[in-house]
Structure 1
Amino acid sequence: MRALLVDRSAPGGLRLGTAPDPRPAAHQALVRVTATSLNFGEVRHGLDGAPDGAVLGWDAAGVVERAAADGSGPPVGTPVVTLGAEGAWAELRAVDTALTGPAPAGADPGALSTVPVAGASALRALHRLGPILGRRVLVTGATGGVGRYALQLARLGGAHVIASTGDPDAYGPGLRALGAHEVVAAPAAVGEPVDGVIDLVGGGQLVDAYARLAERGTLVSVGHATDTGEAFPYGAFFGDQGRHDRTLTTFFLLACTDLAPDLTRLAGLVASGELDPQIAWRGSWERAGEAVAALLGRRLHGKAVLDLT
């Protein structure tokens, strides 16, 4: 099969070549991939740690070519969105059926391919906040792929949505169009306390966002764009300062083994137009080096999609 192979001598660290066809386990379907979307984390960290010749990739959309031998998952011919730790950047992918969601027939595979990491991370993070109808929800790093899905899903869930971005003047109109009621430059600029935070930045912004939590509020740490640690001031976790019972929590998406229903739900919302996948770059996988360079250069605010043509 053809695949994007790790090759540090090539532009972007990837070249189009050939690799052995995957051999699915009994609980895995064999999927013919038609589109894949890139994530900053897999490009920034995955390529650095992978050997030459490896086939990476988390997100892919395609069609089931061989159903799982154990009878789980969708049948042959079903359009699907898939998630895994590797293997998305290839014509064929062996993927766990628990991480494979049937998608509407006729939907754009490129749009569907943005769903797994960005959409599912946003949805699972919002689940961790609990009911959000009528509550104030802050999303930090709102211009990224996860952030843009989180804004839309929070607005659909009835929350008062606050987006945090480093340049509100440039990105404010677009974020408001996605569902943000307010756009601020940083968590410290938020006025009234918030009931929930989806943090995609880490570092000092996570610390400041936690300080804005209302009583019984929850902060879900999802992303770590700053690549720096968090230093909380003395007293940040005292419970007698008027805001007791606050929670800071994390999760790991690939440890969530029951994602198929979430992937299907999100794919349906994208296909119907209720969610905008926010594709910022799209092209043939022969141009993967361009997409990687744009991601690493922080020139994309939204998703990068590769069509396997």
Structure 2
Amino acid sequence: MTAIGWRLAMQAALYSPDGFFVRPGNTPADHFRTSVHASPLFAGALLRLVERVDAALGHPKAFDLVDVGAGRGELLTTLLALLPDDLGRRVRPVAVEVVPRPDGLDPAIRWQRDVPENLTGLLVATEWLDNVPLDIVDTDEHGRLRKVLVDRATGTETLGAAADPAEVFWLSRWWPGPGRIEIGWPRDTAWADAVASVRRGAALCVDYGHRRQERPVLGSLTGFRGGRQVPPVPDGSCDVTAHVAMDAVAAAAGTPYRMIRQREALTALGVDGARPPLTLARTDPKGYVRALSAAGAAAELISSTGLGEHWWLWHTIGVEVPLL
């Protein structure tokens, strides 16, 4: 098979008719664990942000709640169950996804492929940008930056033509120096477009990522299948993902923002992972077991070696809404 650039390879591997996210019967939760899948505590924390945005907007008659990269609608389903009655009556939930609408999804959730425009409310994207396809360049033995090509069937890589001017322009600002570089401008564009769809309210991106001073020398491209990390062969059999250049994404949106780690955000929103007191085991054994389970789920969400390392990128548009 002819080798192609990684951006085209990822697009085909993830989103073609037989791609990883699109093919029937394949559920992402079977292959990797996100904060949404880990615990409803994550949705509970987001609920507090929804309520803050709603208050800042003056409790509008219609509140847009948009989940970009919605998977199978798990986050919106949980949020709708948690919303207080008044807000629940005003919320207009929209799931943005490339796959067909799942059977049995709450009919109140609108399902579409593109981000709607002129939103008033909150747009959320959890682990979406890491699956936006991108190209990779590497430095050859002569110090020249060249595009990395890949065989879709085997994952074998070769070096192709010189990096093009757009790639060189992006990396000169965001990922300087020799080595393997993941060209993040497609993620910048995707997030800028998503934020621009919010007329008034806020946008939240939650994802694995890095900043300019801590770029991975060998890049971060990898694969996931069946709950295990695997080589990123772009044949449609596995998730192919790369961490996000979060500072580049943040700057591209062109609106005020704050960026913190998930462990800091969730702790401030009441998810602390503290074990229940042992006295509860004597007075209320069942309650103790429930509290212990919740503490374990919370600990996973804020772990400094796992989901807690996610970045939260928070933009406000037309209103002042503190993240913490």
TM class, shorter-chain normalised?
0.3 to 0.5
- TM-score relative to the length of structure 2: 0.34
Larger helix proportion of the pair = 2
* Structure with bigger RCO (C-alpha 8 Å, 6+ apart): 2
- TM-score relative to the length of structure 1: 0.35
Larger radius of gyration: 2
